[in-house]
Amino acid sequence: MNSESNKLSSEEETRMIDSAFEALLDGYIHSNHRQKTEVIKRAFAFARQAHQGVRRRSGEPYIMHPIAVATIVSQEIGLGSTSICSALLHDVVEDTDYTVEDIEAQFGGKVARIVDGLTKISGGIFADMTSTQAENVRKLLLTMGDDIRVVLIKMADRLHNMRTLASMPPQKQYKIAGETLYLYAPLAHRLGLFAIKTELEDLSFKYEHPEVYRQIEQKIASTATQRNQVFNHFAAPIRERLDQMGLRYEFKARVKSCYSIWKKMERKHVPFEEVYDLYAARIVFECPDDTREAGMCWDIYNAIAAAYPNKFHTGRLRDWVVNPKANGYRALHVTVMGPDGNWVEVQIRSQRMDDVDEHGLAAHWKYKIGSEAEDSALTGWLQTVQDILKNPEPNALDFLDTIKLNLFASEIQVFTPKGDLMRLPKDATVLDMAFTLHSEIGTHCIAGKVNHKLVPLSQRLNNGDQVEVLTSHSQQPKPEWEKFLVTARGKTRLRAALRHRRRAIINEGESKLRNWLMANGIEMNSDTLMRIVNTEHVAGKDELLFMIGNGEIAVSDQLLRKVRPQQSTSLLDRFWRNPFAPAKGKDGADAQQHDIDTREIYELRTTDGVSNYLIAPCCSPIPGDDVLGCIDDEGRVVVHKRECPTAMLLKAGQGGRLVQTTWAGTGRKFPASVYVEGIDRMGILQEIIYIISTNMAIYLRSLNIRADQGVFRCDLDVLIEDATVIANLCKRLKKVKGVGTAVRIN
Ligand code: MN
């Protein structure tokens, strides 16, 4: 751009500013808001004077930017005088010597607080460090919780900056376009600002891929005539019927945006020509009586059905009229096979619904109707955001992921057993629903019932499912659950619960250890702790206390030796110098490791949490099982079950390495699995879990349930001391009404 030839005289500039402001005021006067032009005029005069003499990079007087932002706020988002004033003043505190107090003195607390919020988030989102970036996003969302108008005005600010991005140097263009696509476009989507979201995406795309953008734009233009013909051909029979009904309506073809066409080309790996559903059509009708809105949508649906009998795509009927999306979107979508053999999506909606779609929920304030469903949908989403912010992720990257997840998710609708509607993101699971209902329900969730069938907590839900969440007091949250969760709220709540639980177990371990040490006349100080940490080979103090609290490390007399090494007996001494020597050896201390005496019986023992043997992963034997040992290349005893196929092979090939073993007292717990099968009935799972956790105090590691046609199957992973415990468990499980099988499995 040649700035010389474009240079305006100062009178011309004044006229340009005045007429831009006149246009803003004119739009406002014609809106449904209460008419408060006086304060808007004052805000304009204040901002104009504050930015006096300052220019934007484009050479324009700076005040043109706040006017443009205020115009977007008023005409494209539909907000009122408080927001218009705040938009006019949004850069005053940031860029001039005026303070928030000055604004407050002139325009009152409401405007001052919004301008303050905007000033706080005026920096960019992207930063060199992830943590800074997370902090910036957090700040932005926090202000949103304070007053949603802050973020709406920020959207308008960003939109105007994107519209004028050409005057920025290229490296800044990339950064701003990247941020817009990363955060602002999804946020606009979530807030229901569909038109702004589309424009932000298109503008970002234009600066990030200028060449592709230009090509797509050109192709859209060159196919316009043909598309129009197809559309008119398609629309004619529908128009005829709508006219007969005496409706006042607009029937338009909709072209996808460059960005969404490009995304589809990328996602489906197809050229432009094959993105055939370029055409969607929209019928916007006038509806003088709000109570007739939904009925008229279906009247129009019937008209289309009459024009195109048997041409409906039954799987793609979407009724967002009765149950609007969380961002407030309402419309009836039908997909019809057009005369040229392509599917055409027709969106049916009233003038009011159309307005909400274009301008977001903010448009409701204009109408002052504020239907409860729509209000609570946005409030619900804001609540989720607050939730995430209240339980901050220690890891910045996790935090950003969580936020992104929440912004992008498309939704399904499910029902509670009482028939209440809930919105969840696509692919949400029973566990997601549980956490959405309440943290406590989530952490105690054991399974669910979808349409009255028992399903595991990992079950994905579908649109329209009726879902009951089953809980148990003894259930505890598990780290593995995270992979079953798609909702940001679920993930945040699970992580918080896990942190909380870990803390509780550590505290439990600490008091357990402290009491036990005290009983033995030893003070628990960091010295004592570190000695145990080192001999137990655990990661640190917290890890040690966690394992003690968890029962993975037992506080036994053997632990004493670690804190009082001088008390060790000569027998133990010998054992520790060569733990793999036969326990009944004549002089085990001097025995060679690989000098295998197959006549000896090896005693398998765990001393102070360290075992002198390894459990073969192929058959996972536990104390009480018939086992045999095999000395491996390092001289360690690997324990197999007698009937283990690997052990059979070893017997055949390496007989010389096999030794007999016997279980000595263990201070260790072993993983084992139980399979339960039976006739499904209400409450059976709770009973099973009650027996395991409460009755027998067995540590339950995981639970996997499948239910099919009244039969349920369940895999339990537990930690137990020996085989008798598991035999007892199976015996007791079989007594539960409905259970047919309860057996130990590998
Ligand atoms: Mn600005």
Class of the CATH domain delimited by 4-203: mainly alpha
Cα–Cα distance, 494 to 507 (Å, whole number): 20
Strands (E), 513-669: 601-604, 606-607, 610-611, 613-615, 627-631, 637-641, 658-663
Superfamily holding 670-745: ACT domain (3.30.70.260)
Distance 88 CA to ligand 1 centre (A): 9
Cα–Cα distance, 608 to 622 (Å, whole number): 18
- Residue spans per domain, the chain: 4-203, 218-359, 374-488, 497-577, 602-663, 670-745
Contact (Cβ atoms closer than 8 angstroms) between residue 156 and residue 76: yes
CA distances from 196 to 81, 90, 338 (A): 20, 19, 30
Cα–Cα distance, 165 to 207 (Å, whole number): 9
547 Cβ contact partners less than 8 Å away, ≥ 6 residues apart: 509, 536, 538, 553
**What are the pLDDT digits (tens) for 626-678?**
788 887 766 678 888 877 777 776 766 666 677 788 877 666 788 888 999 88
Distance 69 CA to ligand 1 centre (A): 7
Catalytic, 95? Answer yes
Q: Residue 598: its pLDDT value, please? A: 62
What are the tokens at 345? 């999506």
Tell me how many degrees the CA angle 676-682-686 measures, rounded to the nearest 5. Answer: 60
Catalytic, 375? Answer no
Distance 121 CA to ligand 1 centre (A): 11
* Domain made up of 374-488: CATH architecture: Roll (3.10)
Q: Residue 373: its pLDDT value, please? A: 38
Catalytic site residue from 13, 95, 102, 427: 95
Q: Residue 385: its pLDDT value, please? A: 62
Q: Residue 376: its pLDDT value, please? A: 47
Distance 229 CA to ligand 1 centre (A): 43
DSSP-derived secondary structure letter, 169:
-
Contact (Cβ atoms closer than 8 angstroms) between residue 609 and residue 668: yes
Q: What is the CATH number of domain 218-359?
A: 3.30.460.10
Smallest CA-to-CA distance from 558 within 606, 525, 603, 521 is with 606
Tell me how many degrees the CA angle 391-395-401 measures, rounded to the nearest 5. Answer: 85
Distance 91 CA to ligand 1 centre (A): 6
Burial class (CB in 10 A: 0-12, 13-18, 19+), 342: middle
Sites in the chain below the pLDDT cut of 70: 1-7, 124-134, 144-146, 276-278, 315, 326-328, 358-410, 537, 539, 558, 561-600, 607-610, 633-635, 649, 651-656, 665-667
Distance 75 CA to ligand 1 centre (A): 17
What crossing angle do the helices spanning 194-208 and 258-268 adopt, rounded to 10°? 70
Catalytic site residue from 12, 18, 94, 643: 94
Q: Residue 86: its pLDDT value, please? A: 95
Distance 558 CA to ligand 1 centre (A): 69
Q: Tell me if 4-203 shares its fold with 218-359.
A: no
DSSP-derived secondary structure letter, 256:
P
Smallest CA-to-CA distance from 265 within 274, 256, 257, 278 is with 274
Distance 557 CA to ligand 1 centre (A): 70
Contact (Cβ atoms closer than 8 angstroms) between residue 436 and residue 469: no
Q: Residue 141: its pLDDT value, please? A: 72
Q: Residue 514: its pLDDT value, please? A: 87
- The residue to which tokens 């053999």 are assigned: 341
Contact (Cβ atoms closer than 8 angstroms) between residue 562 and residue 534: no
